[in-house]
Amino acid sequence: SFQITFNGKENKIFNGVPDWVYEEEMLATKYALWWSPNGKFLAYAEFNDTEIPVIAYSYYGDEQYPRTINIPYPKAGAKNPVVRVFIIDATYPDYVGPREVPVPAIIASSDYYFSWLTWVTDDRICLQWLKRIQNVSVLSICDFREDWQTWDCPKFFVSTPVFSYDAISYYKIFSDKDGYKHIHYIKDTENAIQITSGKWEAINIFRVTQDSLLVLFSFSSRISIGGYPPRKKCVTCHLRKERCQYYTASFSDYAKYYALVCYEIKILEENKELENALKNIKLPKEEIKKLEVDEITLWYKMILPPQFDKSKKYPLLIQVYGGPCSQSVRSIFAISWISYLASKEGIVIALVDGRGTAFQGDKLLYAVYRKLGVYEVEDQITAVRKFIEMGFIDEKRIAIWGWSYGGYVSSLALASGTGLFKCGIAVAPVSSWEYYASIYTERFMGLPTKDDNLKHYKNSTVMARAEYFRNVDYLLIHGTADDNVHFQNSAQIAKALVNAQVDFQAMWYSDQNHGISGLSTKHLYTHMTHFLKQCFSLSD
């Protein structure tokens, strides 16, 4: 082995591994190093957190004194990590040493992010950079110069590409003139040629071979194979529609073989004894439909009790996430807490994808830009009113719950003053966007400055609506060791409610992070079940 870096320092300098905010909100990996295909070069990122403010919280454990956990955590508007990318020749690491890859001038002129690196060939790399405000994305293509032992980056493009075999032309997904994400083909500096089109969205390009594209589409959940000019062949369209409507895929290196992965109910064993024991247990029914409201399509999934009778009245629980680019309404099989509530407690569950959610075009997606906490909440309220009109919802027994971003939306819905909700639960909610991570928050809200979007930062807090919780039953839950959405968020909600003399319930989970795991999980769901049964006047 050979040591490459010598400047690493805990919570200050990270080499080859991301700091907290890059791991959580940008790279989504625990590594920040990339080998070239032939193993000659190693690229890695350095993150300098020296000037980043630190979040500190107590970890109680079993000792006489709690430990204090310190994490560099840039919140909206705060100092960000300084990132640099280096490449070293692993053949002679002590001869040349790491070479820094230059940041494009258009990006380096102000605060920026490094978002990914791809090896195109053994001596060509592609790096993606973002301005801090995240409305400009630049892709630089760098070639190794043997004579100077440096990386030259004369070309840059916008957005993320999937390169063709010629290592020059590439395919990428971006919005077309109608506002839907589709695949385009770009060769050097020529205009982009649109490959796919329609009122649906391409999600991912799995593989580009010498004569074909392999693509995952939204909603239709199809994988298309087509060459250029476009020729399409649908692989999944006629495969057991009654069994599977939600696919992903995995391809071999040259895409000669692929495995379709279906999220379906699978029989792994006969388990006759277990089957007989479960005969009296009935699973809820599920249906996916859409609501048309003011030229907006709201997709929803409704989970109905096994013996559902539309002539009767049922309590309704809205489960919400609602964050930008998310999707809750999916044709995927899963058993969870809400399955229990529908089958055992006779509660109708509904999940609604409103404005800001993914795969329905730019108009819906960007509706929440710089206005978080407005349309996501309005659409949940609109959906509830439509559900009441269906005739089988008891309008005096309606609740809403959510976790993380969903806890934020559920809190704002409860404080909307509509009188629709009797009770609700917020688990680990954001309460003010000034408390959350810079990369995520500024992507959707801009900066919390007077000359940018400070006014909406202030107007969109849960605390600003404390008075409106007076007429609802509110259960607030948080883990004290949450390194993602800090306990500070719920502490501020609780303080505002106390100052407003509003009664509420709260449950803190000591030393639990954002996921609230282990034995705390059972306690959490048991506690929430009791709360809902009390709210809906259901017997134990």
**Distance in angstroms (rounded) separating the CA atoms of residues 421 and 411:** 11
Residues 63 and 139 grouped into a single domain = yes
> Which of 193-197, 333-337, 341-345, 364-368 comes out lowest in average pLDDT?
193-197
**Do 301 and 382 sit in the same domain of this protein?**
yes
Q: Is residue 199 part of a domain?
A: yes
The verdict on 44 and 105 lying in the same domain is: yes
Report the percent of the chain where pLDDT is more than 90.
64
The domain tally of the chain equals 2
| Predicted pLDDT of residue 57 | 97
Q: Are residues 67 and 193 in the same domain?
A: yes
Full residue range of the structural domain in which residue 156 is found:
13-231
What gap in Å lies between CA 140 and CA 100, rounded to an integer?
Answer: 14
Residue 428: inside a domain, yes or no?
Answer: yes
- pLDDT at residue 278 is higher than 90: no
63-94 pLDDT, tens digit per residue, is: 999 999 999 999 999 999 999 999 999 887 77
CATH number at 350 reads 3.40.50.1820
Domain boundary among 231, 262, 295: 231
pLDDT band at 503 (very low <50, low <70, confident <90, very high): very high
What's residue 227's pLDDT? 43
Q: What is the pLDDT of residue 222?
A: 32
Q: For residues 193 and 291, state if they share a domain.
A: no
Per-residue pLDDT band at 153 (split at 50, 70, 90): confident
Q: Is residue 61 part of a domain?
A: yes
Catalytic entry in 184, 478, 486, 514: 514
pLDDT(407) > 70: yes
Residues 416 and 499 both lie in one domain? yes
* Whether residue 208 is found in the same domain as residue 315: no
Residue 29 has pLDDT above 90, yes or no: yes
Residue 250 falls within a domain, yes or no?
no
> How is the chain split among helix, strand and coil, in percent rounded to 5?
20, 35, 45
In a domain, 275, yes or no: no
225 and 347 share a domain? no
Asked if the structure places residue 40 within a domain, the reply is yes
Q: Residue 20 belongs to a domain with what CATH number? A: 2.140.10.30
Q: Which residue has the tokens 């003011």?
A: 294
- What is the band of 349 on the pLDDT scale with cuts at 50, 70, 90? very high
The single residue of 164, 404, 432, 490 carrying the catalytic annotation is 404
Q: Say which range, 152-166, 224-238, 373-387, 508-522, has the weakest mean pLDDT.
A: 224-238
Catalytic residue among 478, 482, 486, 490: 482
Give the confidence band of 219 by pLDDT, cuts at 50, 70, 90: very low
482 belongs to the catalytic site: yes
b/e for 199-233, b at 16 or more Cβ within 10 A?
ebbbbebbbbeeebbbbbbbbebbbbbbeeeeeee
Tell me the mean pLDDT in the region 192-204.
Answer: 77
Q: Are residues 327 and 419 in the same domain?
A: yes
Is 466's pLDDT higher than 70? yes
pLDDT over 50 (residue 20): yes
Rounded CA-CA distance 375/381 in Å is 10
| 300/223 same-domain check | no
Residue 261 predicted with pLDDT over 70 = yes
For 468-481, the pLDDT digits (tens) are: 999 999 999 999 99
Give the residue from 205, 231, 257 where a domain finishes: 231
Give the residue-averaged pLDDT of 113-122: 92
Does the residue 268 lie in any domain?
A: no
pLDDT the model gives residue 235: 65
Alpha-carbon gap, residue 522 to 185, rounded angstroms: 50
249 located within any domain:
no
Last residue of a domain, one of 166, 200, 231: 231
> Are 447 and 509 in the same domain?
yes
Are 293 and 225 in a shared domain? no
- Judge whether residue 243 has pLDDT over 80: no
Q: Beta strands 505-509 and 473-479: pairing type? A: parallel
